[in-house]
Amino acid sequence: MNYFRLLQETLTHYWRTNLAVLLGTLIGSAVLTGSLLVGDSMRGTLREMTLERLGNVDVVMIGPKFFRQDLPKRLLDTQRPNSPSSVAAIILIRGAVTGPNETRASTVQIIGTTPAFWQMFPKTGLNAEEAASKVIVNQSLADQIKLDVNEKTRARIAVRLEKASDIPREGLLGRREGTIRSVPFTVDQVIPDVGAGRFSLDMTQRMPATLFVPIEKLAGPIEQKGRANALLVTDSPTSQGTSKVVQQIQNALSLDDLGVELQSEKEWISIGSRERILSDTVVRAVNRLITDEHLASQHIMTYLANTIALGNKEIPYSVVAGMDYPVESPLGPIVANPPKHYPVPHQVIVNQWTADKLGAKVGDEIRLEYFEVQNDSTLKTKNESFKIIAVAPMEGLAIDRRYTPEYPGITDADTFGDWDAPFPVDLDRVKADDEKYWKDYRTAPKVFLSLVDAQRLWSTRFGNLTSIRLVGPKQLTAPEEQKDVISRQLRKLLDPEELGFAILPIRETSLSASSGSTDFGMLFVSMSFFLIVSAALLVGLLFRLNTERRSASIGVLMAVGVRPSTVRWLLLAEGFVLASIGSLLGLGGAVLYARSLLKLLSTWWKDAVGTSFIDFHAAPASFVVGSLSSLIIALIAVYWATSRISKTPIPELFNEGFTFVGRSRRRRWLHWFLAVAGLLGGIGLIFAGLFGLTSEMGAFFGGGTLLLIGDLALLSAFLHRPALSDPAALVRGAGFIAITRLGIRNASRYPTRSLVTATLLALAVFLVVAVGSMRHGKPPHIPDKTSGNGGFALLATASTPLTRDLSDPEGRFAMNVSDEASELLKNAEIYSFRVKSGDDASCLNIYQPRHPTILAATKPFIERGGFAFASTLAESKEEAENPWKLLDKDFGPGVIPAIGDAATLQWILKVPVGSDLEMRTEKGEIVRLRIVGGLNESVFQGQLVISESAFLKAFPSITGKRFFLIAPSGGSSDKLASLMEKDLSDYGVDVDSTGRVIENYLSVQDTYMAAFQTLGGLGLMLGTLGLAAVLLRNILERRGELALFRAIGFRDSAIAWMVLSETGTLLWAGLLTGTVCALIAVLPQLIRIHDWGVMIPLGVTLLVVIFLGFMSGFIAVIAALRSPVLAALRSERA
């Protein structure tokens, strides 16, 4: 005989009870490891999706400007070591597609393809050269527009594309109308959603709807022939990391790619921009070049004056120029004699032609009338007066038309009548001599003013110079040579990232984002937490019951001299063996558990996230971590179960019905203290919440939790209470009440067992009820200014920005909005937002968003206020009343206040109110978004809102509005929605009710709650199993006692009732305590429940638990009654 043999014999002899312990461990291991496998599956699926949607693309460059299509050629320089293995320049834009049956897809990814693009997606299975000459749609788009294409039939589709204008749309010369072009295409092929069919740079699990068009067929309609806006790079296998590739791309970009134009003149170099306005970044670089190389320079800002007037005489539509005035040739002077004539603020030089036409002379004051572009893209006429200080003769630089950049449709027009201007032109004002000037001098400025004045009046967020003239280094004489040198030097000084060219190691970042917005492994471990704890408590309880049952054997071991510590080690070894086997067997269960959860999630999420996409994946580490963790948890439970062994007097171990008695019996004061403190603290906290002394939600949750602790302590005090002062009180009376009293008293026979059981039930019920009450259900669709919909019934989004105002009748007319829709929109409250597209940060996206979408709230929207805030940084009363005003608050340099949906902030972005999130501006600067408010259940899930002024500073090139909140003044929202979708289909406008949008978001949140509730429910049932085990054990130990009751004449019904009273005491103690405290804890939330239907599953769970609990009682009763009286009376342990 040795300890090993004894252990072996014990394990096999008590196989039934050991099996129960083993099953408990198995459940714990299966749940814990299974939860980790859910995380593996989520990560694995997202990783696979990432790899598939990126094909062989490692690095991507997205330009705000279109670059030359020959960039790949320049990049694939074989002379250079570690050159990328392949590069594709493509056009990547969004548009709307209408199918043959007028079915429409509003947000379609349109790709202008080349053979190099198709080569990056070998999984597509197409010949690259062939595919690059075809119009192809992926299955998702085909499904959306109900397209049926086969070898014999081709289908025609209409694609609405936005012309990619180089000139900012919100500048004076930017085109805001006629920017959408409908282009017909014949679809040659539909490809499945694999390989290129799945290509997307967006980090989302949603399948993109994609149209592939040969690049030349797409470049023409968007007016970007020979250009592309996205560069896809496959890294060389020998490359030493993507940073090298990023550097190579940066170096390969030419000035032309960056939108900078160098014009070589005979005596100077003119630096301009394809945007016709030089950005601050370019100006900074040029100025540095001027300083470094000691170059002569002239900074020029030209503008169009609608009128130059003196008294009642006026000249229409004239170019005016502000500049600095070098006196040295070749950049000056404008007026040769005396050469030092140059205007300071409020002074101008006019040319002779202008002076003659106006009858003006030096000293006269002329008035300039001009358009100022407003933030909403409307034009406002303004004017300013200037004093004439000189008249320039019509010669030399005074008639230099090259001061003015080329504007297609204007500078190339032969007459005023041929102007194709994006602003209103009244041709009646144009006289013959004006036409003659145009013919002779074209865009030569008529008025020269100071640069300071020009920039004061006409600078925009896009820049404040139209060109800069430089005189190259004196040692170089050939203009082309000068241009080359300056071009190279300027290119070196320009950082493409500062110009908005984002070069991203997309594979690296996407794979990192594929870890998910949430660690689903840990999420499900948390959700299954109660199940795991229940399993652990069950293991502990069963092991303890086993130990108690074998107390005499343990006593014998100690009596014969085996040390208590050795006995405990023996028991722990027994527990270790059982837990090890259980944990290992649980791994099989883990796979089943994970698969079941994935199945459930896929079903629940299908509608919300667009696809049932989660495949099973398992990482070996999860099995190791899961099994080891569950083993440790089980061992802790066993350790607890055996903790009293060494402290128990050995003779007590031989007592019939032995049970370990903890210190609790001796520390009754502690129970009472906890009971009183918990109950008083809970009630106090709730009152503090009611009277606004602390946050209502926190007060109620804290209060409910304290009440739970107090109640359980009270129960403990009741179970551990001393004998009654009246020794006969227990058996006083007769009949139903007396038997019930006896049954209740029996519950305190084994206080620890009873308390553990009731606590298990109470905690499980508390969690399940609390979480169940947090489910939202369907939100009301009634617009309410103080709710999550902010009082707006409709939410519209556009794939192409609307540069005209929807609330302006002229804007609606310009955008071809029908009279019927215009009538409905006339009195509607409409707020439009600029959008900086980013990752969807709502709970509908499973990927970890890196750069959330940013919305710009206009001043009127901020002033309007509304919506429900969960928390804010409001300090003043005004801010508290309208927290949107915090968006205009100054938090110091580099800090932009932002507001987001509380759920997005908490769960996806993980930035609480008051903390900062980094954001990269268009110029590559890092600014901090200070979260100043969190909205409750709002339509802003997935985005962050900042003020429009801050937005325009951070993203000056973003024009137009793409997000709209609409509150129709009456009538049918549905009708307006369908009319808007139809009328604004060119812009890919989708309109949805805010109620539905919120409902969609909440349904995903509810999914998590439902999962938590389901798993909590399972934990609750496991807790009920614990109750059953305790009851059966109690009954088995008292077989003799119950037999005695029968022997002395108690009816079976009386015994049954006594047992049921005992069951009911524990069951109700647990259920009632948990339920009542949980309901108190979530009372503020409960009041806000939209749909009481969500409480049905909760009710069902509780009913099942009550049923199972009483079934346990009935089984115990049957066990008690089936035992033969005499045998039970004579029973002995064997």
Partner 1 sequence: MNIAESVIRSTLMRIRGLKKSYRTTGGELTVLDGIDLDLEGGDELAITGPSGSGKSTLLHIIGGLDTPTAGTIDIDGRSLAELSSRDLADYRSHSVGFVFQDHHLLPQCTVLENTLIPTLAAGGATRERIDRARWLVERIGLGHRLTHRPAELSGGERQRVAIARALVNGPKLLLCDEPTGNLDRANAERIGDLLIQLAQDSRAILIVVTHSLELAAKLKIRMELIDGRLAPA
DSSP 229-260: EEEEEEPPTT-S-HHHHHHHHHHH--TTTTTE
> Which of 1063, 1041, 1023 has its CA nearest to residue 1129?
1041
Q: Is 493 in the site for partner 1 (CB under 8 A)?
A: no
Least Å from the CB of residue 746 to partner 1:
19
540: which residues sit within 8 A by CB, 6+ positions away?
Answer: 637, 638, 640, 641, 756
Decide: is 5 part of the binding site for partner 1 (CB under 8 A). yes
Whether 81 and 88 have beta carbons less than 8 Å apart is answered as: no
Least Cβ distance, residue 606 to partner 1 (angstroms): 54
- The one-letter amino acid at 733: G
The partner residues of 1015 in beta bridges, in order of sequence, read none
Q: Does 552 bind partner 1 (CB under 8 A)?
A: yes
76 forms part of the interface with partner 1 (CB under 8 A):
no
Name which of 649 and 892 has its Cβ closer to partner 1: 649
Q: Is 556 in the site for partner 1 (CB under 8 A)?
A: yes
CA distance 132 to 111: 11
For position 669 contacting partner 1 by CB under 8 A, the verdict is: no
Binder to partner 1 among 92, 305, 557, 579 (CB under 8 A)?
A: 557
Q: Is the dihedral of CA 861, 864, 868, 873 positive or negative?
A: positive
Contact region for partner 1 (CB under 8 A) — 26-34, 314-322, 558-566, 973-981?
A: 558-566
What whole-number distance in Å separates Cα of residue 26 and Cα of residue 536?
10
Q: Does 3 bind partner 1 (CB under 8 A)?
A: yes
Q: Which stretch binds partner 1 (CB under 8 A): 556-564, 929-937, 985-993, 1074-1082?
A: 556-564
Query: Which C-beta is closer to partner 1: that of 10 or that of 754?
Result: 10
- Comparison of 563 and 606: residue with beta carbon closer to partner 1: 563
* Choices 2-10, 584-592, 967-975, 990-998 (CB under 8 A): range interacting with partner 1: 2-10
Cβ 3 to partner 1, closest distance in Å?
6
For position 643 contacting partner 1 by CB under 8 A, the verdict is no
- Considering the rule CB under 8 A, would residue 564 count as an interface residue with partner 1? yes
Contact region with partner 1 (CB under 8 A), list: 11-19, 132-140, 298-306, 915-923: 11-19
For residues 789 and 994, the answer to whether their CB atoms sit within 8 Å is yes
Count of chain residues binding partner 1 (CB under 8 A): 32
CB-wise, 561 or 970, nearer to partner 1? 561
CB of 573 to partner 1, least distance (A): 13
- 655 or 786, CB closer to partner 1? 655
Question: In this chain, which of 649, 735, 893, 1049 binds partner 1, going by CB under 8 A?
Answer: 649
**234: which strand partners?**
86
| Contact between 563 and partner 1 per CB under 8 A | yes
Distance CA 744, CA 729 (A): 13
**Spacing of C-alpha 1123 from chain mean position:** 63
**CA pair distance 429, 316, nearest whole angstrom:** 6
Exposed, middle or buried: residue 1030 (CB in 10 Å: 0-12, 13-18, 19+)? Answer: buried
Q: How far is the CB of 546 from partner 1 (least distance, A)?
A: 12
Alpha helices, DSSP H only, in 780-884?
Answer: 809-814, 819-826, 859-864, 877-881
Q: Which of 469, 488, 188, 523 is nearest to 321 (CA)?
A: 469
**Residue 870 near partner 1 by CB under 8 A:** no
Stretch that binds partner 1, among 4-12, 373-381, 414-422, 759-767 (CB under 8 A): 4-12
- Would you say 331 or 578 has its CB closer to partner 1? 578
In order, the DSSP letters of 401-417 are GGGSPP-TTTTT-SSGG
Q: Which of 559, 632, 693, 1096 binds partner 1 (CB under 8 A)?
A: 559
Residues 39-54 as b or e (16 or more Cβ within 10 Å = b): bbbbbbbbbebbebbb
| Segment near partner 1 (CB under 8 A); pick from 12-20, 584-592, 687-695, 887-895 | 12-20
Is position 555 an interface residue for partner 1 (rule: CB under 8 A)?
yes
Residue listed under structure tokens 């968006």: 887
Q: Which of 119, 553, 642, 705 forms a contact with partner 1 (CB under 8 A)?
A: 553
DSSP state of 195: G
Of the pair 479, 564, the CB lying nearest partner 1 is at: 564
If one asks whether residue 666 binds partner 1 (CB under 8 A), the answer comes out as: no
Q: Which x/- pattern over 502-541 shows residues binding partner 1 (rule: CB under 8 A)?
A: ----------------------------------------
563's CB contacts (< 8 A; 6+ apart) are none
Is 1134 a binding residue for partner 1 by CB under 8 A? The answer is yes
**561 lies in the binding site for partner 1 (CB under 8 A):** yes
Q: Quick check: 14 binds partner 1 (CB under 8 A)?
A: yes
Window of 463-471, 643-651, 669-677, 839-847 that interacts with partner 1 by CB under 8 A: 643-651
4 touching partner 1, by CB under 8 A: no
**According to DSSP H, which parts of 14-150 are helical?**
15-54, 71-75, 115-119, 128-131, 139-144
Q: Dihedral of CA 134/140/145/150: which sign?
A: positive
Residue 1133 in the binding site for partner 1 (CB under 8 A): yes
Q: Does 1036 bind partner 1 (CB under 8 A)?
A: no
Q: How far is the CB of 560 from partner 1 (least distance, A)?
A: 4
Q: Retrieve residue 588's tokens.
A: 């099989």
Among 654, 907, 1050, 1114, binds partner 1 (CB under 8 A): 654
SS3 annotation, 981-1037: HHHCHHHCEEEEEHHHHHHHHHHHHHHHHHHHHHHHHHHHHHHHHHHHHHHHHHHHH
Closest CA to 104 of 132, 143, 73: 143
Minimum CB distance to partner 1 smaller for 164 or for 650 = 650
722 binds partner 1 (CB under 8 A): yes
Tell me which of 222, 558, 608, 645 binds partner 1, using CB under 8 A: 558
Q: Is 312 a residue that touches partner 1 (CB under 8 A)?
A: no
Of 5-13, 800-808, 938-946, 1084-1092, which part binds partner 1 (CB under 8 A)? 5-13
Query: Contact 313/357 with Cβ under 8 angstroms?
Result: yes
| Contact between 1127 and partner 1 per CB under 8 A | no
Q: Per CB under 8 A, does 2 bind partner 1?
A: yes
Compute the distance between CA of residue 186 and CA of residue 133 in angstroms, rounded to an integer. Answer: 12
Residue 1075's closest CA among 1112, 1106, 1048, 1050?
1106
Task: Report the Cα 142 to chain-centroid distance in Å.
Answer: 28
Among 588, 651, 894, 1093, binds partner 1 (CB under 8 A): 651
Q: Answer yes or no whether residue 566 interacts with partner 1 by CB under 8 A.
A: yes
SS3 372: strand
663 binds partner 1 (CB under 8 A): no
- Please report how close the Cβ of residue 652 comes to partner 1 at its closest, in angstroms: 9
Comparison of 60 and 557: residue with beta carbon closer to partner 1: 557
Question: What span, in angstroms and rounded, lies between the C-alpha atoms of 951 and 836?
Answer: 9
- The site for partner 1 (CB under 8 A) is made up of 1-3, 5-6, 9-10, 12-14, 552-553, 555-564, 566, 649-651, 654, 722-723, 1132-1134
